[in-house]
Structure 1
């Protein structure tokens, strides 16, 4: 059943309540009918009557889905149908399905690809081919499930090697390349009826703070900002007016040095999300953006550490942003009562003149025009079509092709390719057992020779045992992934506590890896290093290896018991064993002098 056009809704004079409801996008990642919200970890996979009533009563404009909400193809289809039935007008059903490290749908079902930096590595040889084809596949798969907004592409220019949250989510450090690849993805998403959201405006690429856990500040000059941070946004907006632009919780003094008194009574520079100079004057008046703006999640520490939910939303709307994403948690029936008070407080802000009703109306109409734009693409999803679409052979083939096209041969002192012989011993030093198993299986499948592959997992290993394996090995292959995962990759602010579990490995793994590399080097072993993520780390390890490869990804799919796979590992194995060439090129700069040591 095709969703009818929204011309009547666009032309009608809605009530203030209707307009405010459309300007909110909620998350129902977890929902518990009883108990305390802080302890609720029950995934919302079916829409309960209480949430359906909330959506209907307040005419909420959109929801965001997390991995917990999307646990199986049939379940996702049923959930998106339930969500649409709960709304008088089409509802935005959004997700973060960037590809690579940020992919919410089960990798064994949906095609997740190896991510933006791997696409950037293919650009010198393939141009925007993979950007277009990857976005087309992601859009097809999302559409088949009933999801109509993808918070992608990330068009931040990764100019900081220590960036904890963007890194491989970026196409690279060249703003012109980022602009072209981002434009190709926007066009591909929206040609398939999935609204794209450029993020994170005005740029999160040169920071050392993750806005999930703090408030970053960018000290660039105005000319730097225009030439690097803003360039991709400006190019894409001029090319085709993307459906959405997402804000960054980040301070840019050169764009807006005005201050605000936060909810703690402290004076601070306005974050971009709350800056009218950035979100209205710059984005709308100077850059001529006419689409819908949406905040990054308002529960992130870059906002929630400084502002109450109502203050955050009021300041966001005053800045001219159209949609507040995740403004207040709704996890239990008592949270619904809090939401009702929160909603009334927004209405009061209008009646008291803190928010202008005319601006609220303009925002509402932008949102409804965007919904009308995507309505013509949408029909009720079916499980049969979704199952035939998600992760189908053609999509998996493209995933494998991208993974291989991205592999970059950074250094090779005559070691690669290795021509395996029967009985040859390859020892793997990997971040954890899953990645080690994926690499082991990929190597064994890439050759007909009966090779011996042993494993050291850096998560839990005995140095003496690892050294014995190295001493016995013909070839040592070590791999590392830095920086460690951020909250954006795992899911969101609910996962920040889980990041503490990575702290030990974050500090211990690089030291352990370096010691084992030095041991192999002192024993004159043929050694290969693989950078599995951001390639900046190569300068630290290159001198102890005759060959260095970069994959920009380490996705692992567990398809069956004891069958652990990932497209990057298959591609790496084929390059190492000479079945394919590494034709990718580094999309970011590293210390090349380290390669000569």
Structure 2
């Protein structure tokens, strides 16, 4: 890192203020091609990078073309190569789901219990993302999910034990960074003990400093010790850490004080999206972008609106020109950004080769990469060996919580299977492709199935139809796949299962996302936690229910 840092200083001295501030912006856009709004933005503003969402994805091949196109535009303007980032956590939060080796999510990985598999899942994901030109992943989630009512973290977490979250997090960081991706620990200093989604409002965590040290900070300290490239700030207010009512993203006391000075973190600080309501409603995205840089952020994430991106850039330039922010403060962040771009292969270390940046010759500096970062070898996305890792983790994650009736494995009898369909419960989920039903997966395992699907909002109106199917004389056993029944909106699912239990037929409940559903259905005598409803998870659930594989998972959270 020392050589990259020295060369970064050489380049920094030759950059204009606009070039430097541009490096501090990470922008989202609409579309699947390197044209239109994003081409105009890259032409007008020397931004440091972009973020992909599902709206930017059609296929891995298209994403690879898009990445190359964006880097080509930046290079053609004489700008530095871009960070190309994504939220590819695995499981229920993944922007690319087809044509790759989609790994199970973090709680499923923790339930499967293998640190080695956690590393390998991250390394494989990193290699496949890298093959598409992506060089920064906003993962792993290091929030400790110890609040069953948390609406936004849940199965995105490795669980409720600080030490376990730290161990799985460190192995994930190493896997991603061994694939030459920048890993990002999020959401500092912890989003796990909230009951409000920061996409929608500003959560407050009122725990004292001692508790935050003992619980929330444990995995983030471990991530720092492991050399994580980036840390994402949470849009959460911690009164114990910040005397003013400021979310962490805007808090000098937390970012510059706690994270930089006390914890000694030297990597990149990136904000969560500044268009989330926790920020936008209370402070305004543009003003908050300036406040975040004042607080110590290096990279400001604005995910959706080109107008806000341009205005934030202008506001930051104005803040420096007016003396509100010193150029020295900007230089501190830009030097880090240049250093880590070099570390991850975006900049070549050619001290004797001049580099053209913004149309001028820059001597004794890091030259621009001639193309998108080179691959040491061509990675076969969706390789069989990669898929085998995903399958092993998925099968080992399925958790039998209770079977008081000895119902499992399921008998080879006519079975009613009701699948409560996947729904978007938070903006983090984005656009979910509906998985195969649990019934179809069980039918593939040889069971005679009556396969019914119902959306969460239609459970109440469809309950008569579902009960009629359950009462049919030929149906001997019932399996219900719930989806976030623990949420306040889950009352119809809970009432339906209560009525099914009164029919006198064996009923097995499978939680297709939140394992906390059992807290809402305490009279479920047969209960299985699966943590997600992706196609691979459905196959694993069916195989476990029919006895083809053992229930090997262990709960990473308490169900008391």
In the superposition, the TM-score normalised over structure 2's length comes to 0.86
| Cα distance in 2 between the residues matched to 1:341 and 1:517 | 52
1:480 lines up with 2:482 in the alignment? yes
Output one character per residue of 1:517-550: Cα deviation in whole Å (capped at 9) or x when no partner. Answer: 23332232111111111211213324243x2110
1:89 lines up with 2:80 in the alignment? yes
Q: Give the match's secondary structure for 1:389.
A: coil
1:568 lines up with 2:552 in the alignment? no
Contact map agreement 2:60 2:100 (CA 8 A) in 1: no
Compute the displacement of 1:576 (Å): 1.0
Contact map agreement 2:486 2:520 (CA 8 A) in 1: no
Compute the displacement of 1:206 (Å): 0.4
Compute the displacement of 1:399 (Å): 1.7
Compute the displacement of 1:141 (Å): 1.0
In structure 2, the CA distance between the partners of 1:205 and 1:464, relative to structure 1 (3 Å rule), is closer
Residue of structure 2 in register with 1:428 after alignment: 417
Residue of structure 2 in register with 1:583 after alignment: 552
In structure 2, the CA distance between the partners of 1:435 and 1:574, relative to structure 1 (3 Å rule), is farther
1:528 lines up with 2:536 in the alignment? no
Matches within 5 A, 1:451-490: 451-459=448-456, 460=458, 462-471=462-471, 472=473, 473-482=475-484
In structure 2, the CA distance between the partners of 1:151 and 1:342, relative to structure 1 (3 Å rule), is closer
Residue of structure 2 in register with 1:552 after alignment: 531
Residue of structure 2 in register with 1:365 after alignment: 335
Residue of structure 1 in register with 2:22 after alignment: 21
Matches within 5 A, 1:302-313: 302-313=278-289
Compute the displacement of 1:296 (Å): 0.2
Compute the displacement of 1:454 (Å): 3.5
| Cα distance in 1 between the residues matched to 2:91 and 2:123 | 15
Residue of structure 1 in register with 2:252 after alignment: 276
Compute the displacement of 1:466 (Å): 2.1
Q: Which residue of 163, 178, 181 corresponds with 2:165?
A: 178
Q: What are the ranges of 5 or more consecutive residues in structure 1 without an aligned counterpart?
A: 31-43, 259-268, 486-505, 556-565, 592-597
Q: Which residue of 169, 175, 182 corresponds with 1:188?
A: 175
| Cα distance in 2 between the residues matched to 1:314 and 1:452 | 58
Report the structure, 1 or 2, having the larger helix content. 1
Matches within 5 A, 1:70-85: 70-85=57-72
In structure 2, the CA distance between the partners of 1:466 and 1:50, relative to structure 1 (3 Å rule), is closer
Compute the displacement of 1:90 (Å): 2.0
Compute the displacement of 1:84 (Å): 1.1
- RMSD between superposed Cα atoms in Å: 2.5
Compute the displacement of 1:89 (Å): 2.0
In structure 2, the CA distance between the partners of 1:185 and 1:299, relative to structure 1 (3 Å rule), is same
Q: Which residue of 237, 241, 263 corresponds with 2:227?
A: 241
Q: Which residue of 194, 197, 201 corresponds with 2:188?
A: 201
Residue of structure 2 in register with 1:104 after alignment: 95
In structure 2, the CA distance between the partners of 1:116 and 1:197, relative to structure 1 (3 Å rule), is same
Residue of structure 2 in register with 1:253 after alignment: 239
In structure 2, the CA distance between the partners of 1:339 and 1:243, relative to structure 1 (3 Å rule), is closer
Compute the displacement of 1:400 (Å): 1.6
Q: How many residues align?
A: 513
Deviates more, 1:521-530 or 1:297-306: 521-530
In structure 2, the CA distance between the partners of 1:446 and 1:164, relative to structure 1 (3 Å rule), is same
Q: What are the ranges of 5 or more consecutive residues in structure 2 without an aligned counterpart?
A: 348-368, 423-432
In the superposition, the TM-score normalised over structure 1's length comes to 0.81
Residue of structure 1 in register with 2:402 after alignment: 411
Output one character per residue of 1:338-365: Cα deviation in whole Å (capped at 9) or x when no partner. Answer: 7555433322211222111111101100
Residue of structure 2 in register with 1:503 after alignment: none
Residue of structure 2 in register with 1:297 after alignment: 273
Residue of structure 1 in register with 2:366 after alignment: none
Q: Give the match's secondary structure for 2:507.
A: strand
Compute the displacement of 1:463 (Å): 3.3
| Cα distance in 2 between the residues matched to 1:137 and 1:160 | 31
Compute the displacement of 1:9 (Å): 4.8
Deviates more, 1:184-193 or 1:516-525: 516-525
| Cα distance in 1 between the residues matched to 2:503 and 2:252 | 62
1:400 lines up with 2:391 in the alignment? yes
Contact map agreement 2:290 2:315 (CA 8 A) in 1: no
Compute the displacement of 1:45 (Å): 1.2
